[in-house]
Amino acid sequence: MKYGVHGVTVSRISSAVGLSRAALYRHFRNRDAVLAAAMDLMDQRFSGWLKESSGDNAFLRLMNMGECHAAWSASKFETYIRPLFQFAAASEQGRLTTINREHNLLFHRAALDLVEEGKREGSIREDVDSQDIVWGLQMLAWSEDVARLVGMDEMITSGASKRLFRRLLGDIS
């Protein structure tokens, strides 16, 4: 966080965690392996947004996710939101880009499963494009995160992001 992804070095990491470089290399093959482990930890935090959603059915859980994202992301701003966007901005077409994509796809698939569950249980119309709903959920998350990053919290505090998401979900139940 302090130096950004490009400024992360094995020396800085080992110093920050109180290990020698040799000790760090016993746990991680190289810098990218440490960054991949950081992404794994971020993914665990992010999956909490989906797992903590509440509601009696899949539609209500999706609504709850939209309603709760701003508060969730505010609580994870320094430990998830800022690092996520640093990884995204620093990505070159290499291993970290692939890992970042894989992590985003894990969430996408889990949210897609929730939409499909809603179709099976009848809380979401069968004719709805499941991908559109999941992309809508991701757009809500990304737009609120970017708004917070650039200091435009009024997008969140005015309720605009929630109103837009409710409109999207209003057409699917």
Residue 112 lies in a domain: yes
What does the pLDDT average to over 74-89? 77
**Domain region containing 95:** 31-170
Residue 1 lies in a domain: no
Residue 22 CA to residue 11 CA, distance in Å, equals: 10
Residue 20 lies in a domain: no
Predicted pLDDT at 132: 92
Contact yes or no for 112/58 (Cβ under 8 A): no
| Number of separate domains in the chain | 1
Q: With a cut of 60, say whether residue 80 has pLDDT above it.
A: yes
CATH of the domain at 138: 1.10.357.10
Residue 54 lies in a domain: yes
Q: With a cut of 60, say whether residue 93 has pLDDT above it.
A: no
Residue 19 lies in a domain: no
Contact yes or no for 8/42 (Cβ under 8 A): no
**What pTM did the predictor assign?**
0.79
What does the pLDDT average to over 98-120? 89
